[in-house]
Structure 1
Amino acid sequence: MNLPRSGHKRTLALLFLLASGMAQSASFDCAKARSDTEKRICADPAVSRLDSELALVYRDTMAGVAHKGALKGWQKQWLWSTRDDCADAACLGLAYAARIAELRGHTRAGAAAGGVSGRYERHYRNKPDKTATIDVFALPGNRVRVLGSAHWQSANPDNVNIGDISGVATLDKKVLRYRDGNGDREGEIGCMLTLTFAGDALTVSDDNRRCGGHNVTFDGAYRRASGSK
């Protein structure tokens, strides 16, 4: 069958797009890859496909949640603390597979784990005190991913101490006992907290003062940020 010239052009254009898609499986333009991590992703077809798959899973997860700011922060934290810490394709493959599974698990959990997902801001005198936030993500099996940051500042603006938490714990009747186990010496207890949820309210207590620098504490009354359920 003879195609008109315009038909040939459309066919060639389609073939070009298909070829481009086969050659470029990562979620970003490999021709513009700059970091070592991006170059490792582009150099391995399997990791490239996982990168593309994660981009789709992340997009679908983002579309289905109200706590978009918290989810975005969670993804950024994974990128720099987990993905970018990999030195080879094998590590990247495992990291991507685990991340895809965790995001899908969060989507499946939905309102599970008591509907606690969202970003919580510490309040003082009915106003956010802007010194501590905790992001919570429900996972299957009543497990919860917790990410948090807090800081303390003295009268000297240059004297600032910070603290961060990141881990998974099990929610039991609206109470979550967080423990990261990262002490200064092997076997030493690290950060410990108790999180108690009540609707849009969160009370953090029992901070053992091992969750950050001097005077840093996560204890206090928190409220779930508007539009973050």
Structure 2
Amino acid sequence: MNGTSASLGEIEALKAAHTAPKVDILICPPATLLNRLSVAAAGSAIATGGEDCHAAENGAHTGDISAEMLVDAGASHVIVGHSERRADHHESDADVRAKAGAALRAGLTAVICLGESLDQREGGETLDVIGSQLAGSLPDGLTGANAVIAYEPIWAIGTGKIPTIEQIEEVHDFIRAELVKRFDAEGDKMRVLYGGSVKPSNAAEIFAVGNVDGALVGGASLKADDFSPIIAALEAAKG
């Protein structure tokens, strides 16, 4: 819940800085800015997406937005299951699974988020939690082309705290193994992103981890001056 019309200038700065990027760049703004940002990004290498969607195609769901509406506004992606949605709106794995299914129905790429709380991390439950969320939140029919998985330890979002590189590697390797187990070759093609206090100062170290294919960037994506170095770090690591 950040950004007004004044923020749209940041897209111009990103376009100027990344005219031919070696990696994919996706911006998921508030719904109020999605169409205008999609128009501003047209003709560039920057894709746009929604921050959430409803599972239904239409109906009496005042205040909600369907995946089809996001497509109409110019989106190619949608984030589902973000920890803030799970916490603030009590979304279950089944809810997230239904929303991801709606994204597939509408032709969107689903960015499906997973992550453990601090209590779960300290209790040694991380892999059990992630395994359960993978099983419950991912619908059938996912491929490397229509799904992205984002691991975001809840305790690291906006706190400045970050797991150790070894902890990130453990979880990402586990996610990759579970994806391959369920989706075979497509599971190896799905990108697995890390999210949680990613910033220019730590991006290169995070991107050096083998099964980290990119980042789900929060606060550092609000300004082009902060987001652009993260993009450059990913290009250097993976491009």
- TM-score, shorter chain, exceeding 0.5: no
Give the number of the structure whose residues are more often strand, by fraction.
Answer: 1
Give the alignment's TM-score, normalised by structure 1: 0.24
Give the number of the structure whose residues are more often helix, by fraction.
Answer: 2
Larger Rg: 1
